[in-house]
Amino acid sequence: MSVGSVRLAVLHGDGVGPEVVPAAVAVAERALAAQDVALETTVLPFGAAAIEEHGHPVPESTLEQLADFDLWLVGPHDSASYPAALRHPAPGAEMRKQFDLYANLRPARALAGVTATAPDIDLLIVRENSEGLYADRNMAVGSGEFMPTPDVALSVGLVTRAASERIAVEAFEAARRRRGHVTVVHKANVLRLTTGLFRDVCLQVAQRYPDVTVDTEHVDAMAALLVRRPADYDVIVTENLFGDILSDLAAELSGSLGLAASLNSSADRAMAQAVHGAAPDIAGRGSANPVATIASTSMLLRWHGERSGDEASIRASDAIDGALAHVLADGVATADLGGSASSAAFADAVVAAL
Ligand code: ATP
């Protein structure tokens, strides 16, 4: 009999979302059940299906109900397929902004059984997720991108001390739980005021963590160094756009975008959502790789466990990571990794390994 429960809001999303999200729910359910914890899921309308039913990709009722959940599992959205009037803001951006999910953690680690360009990569990108050049979230009213004439486009980049400080704290705390090193990535030789402020605030926060070593890199150099010597990096903290680009690079170095997990969090709420998009080119075939969504869900359970002191969730997360590694090392793989397993068959193998 269950001695506890974990409440999870589930949003399937578009494209391969309805294939990979249920796979992750099944895995989380099994891992928690092994700890005598019940997973209570509530599916909320989101994406193209929500447009059909409610006229909007993120209906008001979904936003209201999300406020009632600390933990969300969210599939990808394919806003390019929405009617033009509903494409902006993108659903993910709207949710991140409304709930101030400012910290985006994106690990990249090569796993046995997966061919990786960088077989020794094991790093965590800590990406500031609330400001920078992201025009859909860096203004209170209006957009950070605008055109005074049809031939002139401008974009406002926002960097604040408060947002830089809170993301730096996330990075240094994460480094304490990992190998104790943070690399601050900026472009302060050109974007002197904005990314310079980001770098300086991170270095000020570093002084509170004498047990963590720190260095700094320009983002362009960082891209080259990630390819040249990926194993040298532990935690990389950076602003929004740089973090988005570097995390795709790191994901690809570790094997495939289909493996790349991601967690978005505020102080009191977290959203698991894979790095990859809706992958419309393969949607509906049941062949999508569910690893990224399963691993994101594992991060969600760990976040919940560490925040609430719920050891069972941490053990469930450990078990999911172990089962994923075991199944991949055993050669079970979806098509993107050269295998023939369907999304559901892969999830079944992980559930069996649990
Ligand atoms: P977005 O802009 O929403 O991030 P995108 O168009 O840049 O999306 P994806 O939808 O992530 O990119 O797809 C990029 C490529 O990666 C596609 O060829 C897609 O099939 C592949 N891909 C993405 N996710 C998966 C997955 N889970 N399993 C297998 N292949 C995937």
What tens digit of pLDDT does each residue of 130-188 get? 999 888 878 888 888 999 999 999 999 999 999 999 999 999 999 999 999 999 999 99
325-353 per-residue burial string, b: 16 or more CB within 10 A, e: under 16? bbbbeeebbbebbebebbbeebbbbbbeb
Which residue did the predictor score with more confidence, 135 or 33? 33
Query: For residues 122 and 323, what is the distance between their CA atoms, to the nearest angstrom?
Result: 18
**SS3 of residue 351 by DSSP:** helix
Q: Residue 14 catalytic? A: no
pLDDT of residue 52: 94
Domain coordinates of the chain in residue numbers?
Answer: 1-101+262-354, 116-254
Assess whether pLDDT exceeds 80 at residue 3: no
Query: Which pair of structure tokens corresponds to residue 3?
Result: 């001695």
Write the CA distances from 189 to 40, 133, 195, 255, integer angstroms.
50, 17, 9, 32
Q: Is 102 a catalytic residue?
A: no
Task: Say if pTM beats, i.e. exceeds, 0.75.
Answer: yes
Query: How far, in Å, is the centroid of ligand 1 from the Cα of 181?
Result: 31
pLDDT over threshold 90, residue 240? yes
Q: Is the CB of 288 under 6 A from ligand 1?
A: yes
The confidence score (pLDDT) of residue 2 equals 66
Judge if the beta carbon of residue 281 lies within 6 A of ligand 1.
Answer: yes
* Measured distance CA(299)–CA(292) in Å, rounded: 11
Query: What's the CA gap between 354 and 350, in Å, rounded?
Result: 6
Question: For ligand 1, is residue 289 a contact (CB within 6 Å)?
Answer: yes
pLDDT at residue number 159: 97
Instruction: State whether the beta carbon of 241 lies less than 6 angstroms from ligand 1.
Output: no
Mean pLDDT of 208-234: 98
| Residue 109 Ramachandran class (φ > 0 left, ψ -120 to 50 alpha, else beta) | beta
pLDDT of residue 1: 52
- Look at residue 58 in the predicted model and tell me its pLDDT: 94
Contact 235, 217 (CB under 8 A): no
> What is the rounded average pLDDT of the residues 22-45?
98
**Whose Cα sits closest to atom 20 in ligand 1?**
279
pLDDT 10s digits, 34-57: 999 999 999 999 999 999 999 999
Query: What is the pLDDT averaged over residues 88-99?
Result: 85
Q: Which fold has domain 116-254?
A: Isopropylmalate Dehydrogenase (3.40.718)
pLDDT tens digits along 104-143: 999 999 998 999 999 999 999 999 999 998 888 788 888 8
Strands (E), 16-165: 37-43, 71-74, 103-109, 122-128, 145-149, 152-155
Q: Does residue 77 surpass a pLDDT of 60?
A: yes
Q: What is the DSSP letter of 341?
A: -
Q: Which helix (H) or strand (E) holds 116?
A: none
Is residue 214 over pLDDT 60? yes
Sign for the pseudo-dihedral over CA of 96, 100, 102, 103: negative
CB 102 within 8 A of CB 93: no
348 catalytic per annotation: no
Q: Which of 63-72, 138-147, 281-290, 298-307 has the lowest mean pLDDT?
A: 138-147
- Any idea what the Cα angle at residue 132 is, between residues 210 and 170, rounded to 5°? 30
Quick one: CATH architecture of 1-101+262-354? 3-Layer(aba) Sandwich (3.40)
Predicted local distance difference test score (pLDDT) of residue 138: 83
